[in-house]
Amino acid sequence: MDLWETADLFAEAMRRKQELVRLVEENPDHADLGTAVWAPGKLFDPLLKPLFASVLRRHLDGDAGVLYQAIIALDNLEVEFPEAEGSFSIYEEEKNRRMAGAYLERK
């Protein structure tokens, strides 16, 4: 792969990232929102921290799966969740809501 191909791939990846960010921002009730939060969460991009925090705010009492994906995305960015006690689980819905609420209060 030459330099131009690499640059084209990078540009395409950035376009897709922006599409996902737009989807998350503009469609908070989209059926695939969990996946739309999960994907940019794997980019480890600290510039996306406000996006994930806004997802926590919007879904604190909403979709537990979306909330969990936002927590994991923030954890990927080394945000501390002391309440996690070293682990996260999508099945611990109330614990996740408490962690998200505590994080938002600390902000």
Rounded Cα distance, 15 and 98, in Å: 34
What tens digit of pLDDT does each residue of 70-92 get?
Answer: 999 999 999 998 888 878 899 99
Prediction pTM value: 0.89
| Weakly modelled stretches of the chain, pLDDT under 50 | none
Per the structure, the count of domains in the chain is 1
Rounded Cα distance, 68 and 65, in Å: 5
Rounded Cα distance, 85 and 35, in Å: 25
Specify the pLDDT at position 107.
80
3-class SS of residue 81: coil
The whole domain housing 65 covers 3-106
